[in-house]
Structure 1
Amino acid sequence: MLIQCTSRPVRNFSACHCLSSPKRRSSYSLAVSERYSSLVKSVMSSRVSSQTPDTLQAEDEHIYGPVVKAQPPSSKPEKREPKTLHPFLISEKTLETEETESGPPVRILLKRGQGGSSAPSVTRILQQTLSPEQRFYLERWKRRMIEELGEDGFKEYSQNLFRQGKLFHSTLDDIMESGAAQEKKAPAESPEYPAEVQGYLESISHILEDVSAVRAIESTVHHDSLDYLGIVDCVARYRGVLCLIDWKTSEKPKPFLSNTYDNPIQVAAYAGALNNDGNYKYQVDHGLIVVAYKDGSPAHAHQLSSEQMLQYWRTWLLRLEKFTEQRSSHTSMDFSEKK
């Protein structure tokens, strides 16, 4: 069988044909090639240095001194311990006591001024011992809020937050004292509570169902030997465990304990003072941080075990030492300026 081929114009050249075809070398490429060849010959024919990396390093050390290599950064931060590890629990007291828990909650009022205590508060100590990183983020948040609301708007915003928080705490104190936490009816449904706190009360309604045997409400605690004080929000049983409870309000969700910043340190400081205070015949080694939300969404409850409380107690002692050192430094500077 004969196959007839039809001739067509060829538009594309074969790559193999192009590669196999001889190339014409220009006079320019010949000149460059000759120059490169002579350069290689001159380099290869030159005398090679007899120095090695070791001799070069020795020469550098003789001229510039030995190389000091920096230590690689540690992956784990240095763990600090307080200079004096004051006890968190007092051996003379017992964690559980036989005294009745059915009586009214204790409320010891804070007394300042003449005849009152001049000891610094836990809140003040924590505020004045913030880390540079904490101060940076706090100042950045403040600047952003001022840019958005203005100076007057930010001032009004801060005042409203403070007023709502205070109203929430006072309403919650009334609920605790009246025993509303024991009732099946949700406190947020009660019309006598202010409308501004209805959302917060609805938020913590499922928490209050597990709170019982309230022992203290808005009560002052004072650590005699360390000389600091604080006002405890509540001491009660949460799911059967005696806890020092701290009620917080927030506009943003705080589902993790790390979202509460220095609040665990605050709770441990309050508990350590209560355990040392002779006005309280019992001790507390558990904590509870409850974060309530204005929109009524379920509050987050962060329970602190006895091991966690000891850990945050050590952190508190470090912050207290830092505060004491700062105060001593300021006192020395004031004294030198007066001289």
Structure 2
Amino acid sequence: MRLHQLLRCAQRVGESSRVVSGLFSHCYRTSVNTFSTSNVSPARKKSSPYSSVDSGRYSSLLKSVVSHRVSAQTPDILEEQDVQIYGPVIKSPTPSNRTPTPSKVPKILHPLLNQDRVFDFGETELGGAPARIILRRGQDRGSVPSVTRILQETMSPEQQFYLERWRRKMIAQLGEDGFKEYSQNLFRQGKLFHTAVESVLPLTTKEVPGEDPEEAPEVPSEVEGYMESVRHVLEDVRGVRAIESRVQHEKLGYLGIVDCVALYRGVLCVIDWKTSERSKPFLSNTYDNPLQVAAYVGALNNDVNYNYQVENGLIVVAYKDGSPAHPHLLSSEQVLQYWERWLVRLEDYTERR
């Protein structure tokens, strides 16, 4: 046991410096007895751990400590002096084969794909109109929860903490009424942005966005920056198969509205358009958005209103200042991983009902 540990124990129980000296004396007598016993048999002689101690420094340190009723030295200083006597502390290396904490897995692994449905990409590429199944708010939302609602009610405590801290910060800056108006403006801008994107989406593989400037729809000034932000992404979108269309997973009991289903650089994707005031260059910056896309993919693949399947996803984050949007393409492997995490959140939601 090191000296500073003895001192801390002595201070906690309110012992005087004489107790500390007594403890030192006891340790010294014990060590002397041990040494004398071990010297009886040379064959069993062991090297003393005190042989390398600088006795002069040790004595000086002890006197400086016990000379005060309450030591004026801080634990940091004691530790520095302790290092001078015993040498630096050598920490044990972290085992390289430590097993990581296992992530939570769904109790039932429902398939993402529908084995009874084929992959068919030809119909919309030849000019078929995209699907747009309207969500009947009165009937559909009564008993079937939405993807957004499920994700909101199953957020982790950490997510809830940061969200609440942001909300309080904004209220402190804007006031209750100001924050309410700010939230309403964000919602309105999001709707205007989605409408503007839909108006310029190409419906066939032969169409190119912005090819005929005279027929280009007028864009509200509030979302001009967002539209400029996604312009380079829209150039790679073809063959739109669904726009603002409801998807529902009958077996798992949830529904949602997909922003778009289309080919992005030749890959059929569920596309989610997002707006952000902060840059989100990495997929990890999008929080639960990948789970939302995976939930939509699974619902679409099991919805009788669609005769095709989707394996990939695309999250496009647009910025109001017009800076280039960040498109985050989710491979089929990534979508499957997020699908399993979505199933866990869905089970958590169901168990809370």
Taking structure 1 as the reference length, what is the TM-score of the superposition? 0.72
Of 246, 263, 268 in structure 2, the residue corresponding to residue 237 of structure 1 is 263
Of 192, 199, 203 in structure 1, the residue corresponding to residue 229 of structure 2 is 203
1:230 partner amino acid? G
Aligned residues of 1:175 and 1:181 also touching (Cα < 8 A) = no
* Structure 1 residue aligned with 2:336: 310
Deviation per CA, 1:264-308, whole angstroms, max 9, x where unpaired?
000000000000001000000000000000010000000000000
Which shifted more, 167-176 or 200-209? 167-176
Q: CA deviation at 1:181?
A: 6.8
Of 229, 245, 260 in structure 2, the residue corresponding to residue 219 of structure 1 is 245
Q: CA deviation at 1:149?
A: 1.3
2:297 partner amino acid? A
Q: CA RMSD in A?
A: 2.9
Unaligned runs of 5+ in 1: 1-38, 53-71, 328-339
Of 305, 308, 317 in structure 2, the residue corresponding to residue 282 of structure 1 is 308
Q: CA deviation at 1:192?
A: 1.5
Relative distance call for 1:46 and 1:91 in structure 2 (3 A) is closer
Deviation per CA, 1:162-197, whole angstroms, max 9, x where unpaired?
11001111121222277797134598x957211111
Of 89, 104, 113 in structure 2, the residue corresponding to residue 80 of structure 1 is 104
- Give the 3-state SS of the residue equivalent to 1:85 in structure 2: coil
Give the count of matched residue pairs: 266
* Structure 2 residue aligned with 1:154: 179
Q: CA deviation at 1:134?
A: 0.5
Deviation per CA, 1:66-118, whole angstroms, max 9, x where unpaired?
xxxxxx9x672322210100000010112234434311110000013258762
Give % identity. Answer: 64
- Tell me the distance in 2 between the aligned counterparts of 1:267 and 1:138: 21
Matching of residues 35-50 of structure 1 within 5 Å? 48=33
- Give the 3-state SS of the residue equivalent to 1:48 in structure 2: helix
* Structure 2 residue aligned with 1:300: 326
Deviation per CA, 1:225-254, whole angstroms, max 9, x where unpaired?
001000000000000000000000001100
Deviation per CA, 1:44-70, whole angstroms, max 9, x where unpaired?
699837999xxxxxxxxxxxxxxxxxx
- Give the 3-state SS of the residue equivalent to 1:182 in structure 2: coil
- Tell me the distance in 1 between the aligned counterparts of 2:323 and 2:338: 29
Which shifted more, 132-141 or 142-151? 142-151
- Tell me the distance in 1 between the aligned counterparts of 2:113 and 2:342: 14
- Tell me the distance in 2 between the aligned counterparts of 1:222 and 1:109: 12
Taking structure 2 as the reference length, what is the TM-score of the superposition? 0.69
Of 105, 108, 113 in structure 1, the residue corresponding to residue 138 of structure 2 is 113
* Structure 2 residue aligned with 1:4: none
Relative distance call for 1:46 and 1:174 in structure 2 (3 A) is closer
Aligned residues of 2:124 and 2:240 also touching (Cα < 8 A) = no
1:265 partner amino acid? L
Of 108, 116, 119 in structure 2, the residue corresponding to residue 95 of structure 1 is 119
Q: Does 1:261 align with 2:287?
A: yes
Relative distance call for 1:115 and 1:246 in structure 2 (3 A) is closer
